[in-house]
Amino acid sequence: MRTEYTQTALQIIRSYDGPPVRIMEVCGTHTHEIFRLGIRQILPSQVDVISGPGCPVCVTPVGYIDEAVWLALEKGVTICTFGDLVRVPGSTLSLAGARSRGAHVEIVYSPLDAYDYARQHRDEEIVFLSVGFETTTPPSCLAVRNARRDSVTNFSLLTANKTMPRAYEAMKDSADAFLYPGHVCAVMGTGDCEAMVQQGVSGVVAGFTAKELMTAFAVILKKIQKGEPFFKNCYPRVVTREGSRTAKELMADVMEPCDAEWRGLGCIPQSGLQLRPAYAAWDARKKYGIPLIEGRANPACRCGDILQGKCKPPQCPLFGTVCTPEQPVGACMVSHEGACSAYYTYGGNIR
Amino acid sequence: MNDVITLAHGAGGRQTAELIDRVFKAHFSNPQFTGDDAAVLSIGGADLAFTTDGFIVSPPDFPGGNIGKLSICGTVNDLSCMGARPLYLSCAFVIEEGFPLAKVEEYAASMARTAAEAGVRIVAGDTKVAGRGQVDHLFITTTGIGQRLAGVHTSGTLARPGDVVIVSGDVGRHGCTILLARNQFGIDADVTSDCAPLWGTVEAMLERTKDIHVIRDATRGGVGTVLYEIASQSQVGIHLESTSVPVHPSVRGVCGMLGLEPLYLACEGRLVIVAPECEAPAILDVLHQQPYSQDAAVIGQVTAEQPGRVVLRTEIGAETMLPPPGGELLPRIC
């Protein structure tokens, strides 16, 4: 079912004969779809795709896992989390390891499920591991706001929420054009991406179907040849300039910017979100007095370089031998949206 | 391999194969022990197919069936894939203390109905009751024998370059149904299990042509796992056309939301058929007239290149490797 539209995009991509281009996608779903569709195979050799820091699991620092393990083992709280985080290695233990030592870890699919669990288990202390970008942050905020409304006190968040705009800025020297994340832009609008043009940074907002992704790549390859920084919304059926006002207001009410550590990238000022003082009672760090934990990642792991496009997963000494999806060392191998996991899974004919 | 059994060892993928190879094959090795769905034994001049299957699906009731129906279909289909008419089954129940008698009766009635449809008799059984909490509701094991039709020779080792790959209907329904029946995702979709006894389908096909190289039923690991097994057993490559693979829109939607590959979701009423290309029209013609295979389609071709691999031509025309099966997708789907 190759539509004519996709054919045209395909022709533009295949016939590109301009200068080398580095395109960075910063969305885990894009990473996965680009591999699944085999887009890398049809790109001309001078076009490189870098899987940037777009998977929330992959950018979650080791110290955060250590905090969760500490809460589970030292304070005996029930950890509610997205499943992907369970196998991310901490300094000494993953949550899966903590579970085998008696930690209570519940897998949930939404922060609101964690909140429901807390309401149904009032004799337990529940901490939800609140990771993610502007897409998963609003439901976390909603859960906390509901907890305040309902006076539910056995529920709190361990926040590691992150925002995208500072990451674009931090990564701008690693790429010639960004494939901006469609879901994040659906929430936040396109203002942050448009502002990047002033800094000389190009990019397009991309959707997730074959047609949408092909169009986005084709637009980048067309526009980049003009030598001017550009922005284009290639996902207009979902993304508007303004984004979701409701979600933005919710986030602004419950959370405030803070400095944040990104796994492999270090601290990016004002790139994180934490609960505002009015919600301190639902902030696990304040509630339990978590000590300052400095996480130690495996020094051989090159997840940080991979996220910046400085190397490809197979160039990491651990890739595919010590580090596999079944026994991951680095976070990029844990989540199926991580670059290492995608390389490993789709192996074979990837250049 | 891990030093303890994990759920991945029961998922029907690579870890399951490793467990069978390193432990069971190592101890049970004999000429009749093959990698096929059922063993074929020559006894008194007849070729008898013989197989067994355990069922632990959770939840035991799901749209389109229950553990009782499933327990008959699983074994009937394994026999059918060897080209054998299912004749007799035995069944063993392990039931949890406190489980309602009415439910046991409901499952028994489902088993009887399904057995009647498949033309098979349940002739022996065993009942055990385990203490509360020692099993989850009830587990059923069925064992069956069937008689192979004369002139039929199907096996996972017989795929040849140039053959076509046919799937008898849309893929991934059973796995998707169970996933939704567990209510963990807050997703509602109109999907029912494809669970069905397939002897009628196989018999009709074999009446038209016996020139069929492989018949497999795609269960736990889905169509993808079966294709990798065939590619490995026959030392051939398999090229799939992704846009030809039938997938129900709801299944596709759920897979999109959860990041799952429909080719790796379980089926319980789908055949993967490998046959010479010239037989494809006749086979499809028969399948389209049978009740459980109206969406049958050619999805790919067997090649001499890239033996052991399954290559997918994606909707943009790129060729990617179908990720090899592995890991636990969904525990306790059958």
Q: Which residues does A contribute to its contact with B (CB < 8 Å)?
A: 1-2, 6, 10, 29, 32, 35-39, 41-42, 109-110, 113, 210, 214, 325-326, 336-337, 345-349
Burial class (CB in 10 A: 0-12, 13-18, 19+), B319: middle
Mean pLDDT to the nearest integer, A189-203: 94
Instruction: Give B-chain residues touching A32 at CB under 8 angstroms.
Output: 259
The neighbouring-strand residues paired with B98 are none
Task: Give me the pLDDT at residue B328, please.
Answer: 52
Lowest-pLDDT range of A127-136, A183-192, A214-223, B35-44: B35-44
- pLDDT value of residue A5: 64
* The pLDDT of residue A350: 44
* Contact between A246 and A253 (Cβ < 8 Å): no
Residue of chain A whose Cα is closest to the Cα of B318: A38
For chain B, the residues whose C-beta falls within 8 A of a C-beta of chain A are 8, 184-186, 243, 259, 309, 312, 314-321, 323, 326-327
Residue range A120-166, pLDDT digits in tens: 999 999 999 999 999 999 999 999 999 999 999 999 999 999 999 88
- The mean predicted confidence, pLDDT, of chain A is 91
DSSP symbol at B82: T
Mark yes or no for CB contact A41/B318 under 8 Å: yes
What does pLDDT average to over chain B? 92
| Check: complex ipTM more than 0.85 | no
Q: In what order do the strands lie in the sheet with A202-206?
A: A47-51, A21-25, A177-181, A202-206, A231-233
Q: Which of A76-80, A162-166, A294-298, B184-188 has the highest mean pLDDT?
A: A76-80
**pTM assigned to the model:** 0.83
CA dist., res. A146 & res. A152, Å (int): 8
Percentage with pLDDT > 70 across chain A: 97
In the predicted model, is pLDDT for residue A351 greater than 50? Answer: no
* Structure-model confidence comparison of residues B328 and A33, the more confident one: A33
- Evaluate if residue A59 carries a pLDDT over 70: yes
For residue A6, the model assigns a pLDDT of 63
* Predicted local confidence at residue B226, as pLDDT: 94
Nearest of A111, A153, A159 to residue A256 by alpha carbon: A159
Say how many C-beta atoms besides its own lie within 10 A of residue B30's C-beta.
Answer: 8
Q: What sign does the CA torsion over A316, A321, A325, A331 have?
A: negative
- Residue B160 distance to chain A (closest CA, Å): 23
pLDDT at B329: 56
> For B65-90, how does the pLDDT look when each residue is reduced to its tens digit (9 = 90+)?
999 999 999 999 999 999 999 999 99
Closest partner CB to A37 (pick from B186, B315, B326): B315
Q: Which of chain B's residues have a Cβ under 8 Å away from the Cβ of A326? A: 8, 326-327
Of A250 and B188, the structure prediction assigns the larger pLDDT to A250
- Does residue A271 surpass a pLDDT of 90? yes
Who has greater pLDDT, B202 or A296?
B202
pLDDT tens readout for residues B118-159: 999 999 999 999 999 999 999 999 999 999 999 999 999 999
Q: What pLDDT was estimated at residue A142?
A: 97
A351, closest residue in chain B (CA to CA): B320
| Set of chain A residues whose Cβ sits within 8 Å of the Cβ of B327 | 325-326
CB contact under 8 A, B320 and A36: yes
List of residues 6+ apart from A289 with CB closer than 8 A: none
Residues of A in contact with B317 (CB under 8 A): 2, 10, 42
Round to whole Å and give the CA distance between A272 and A314. 30
Residues lower than pLDDT 70 in chain B: 1-2, 35, 326-331, 333
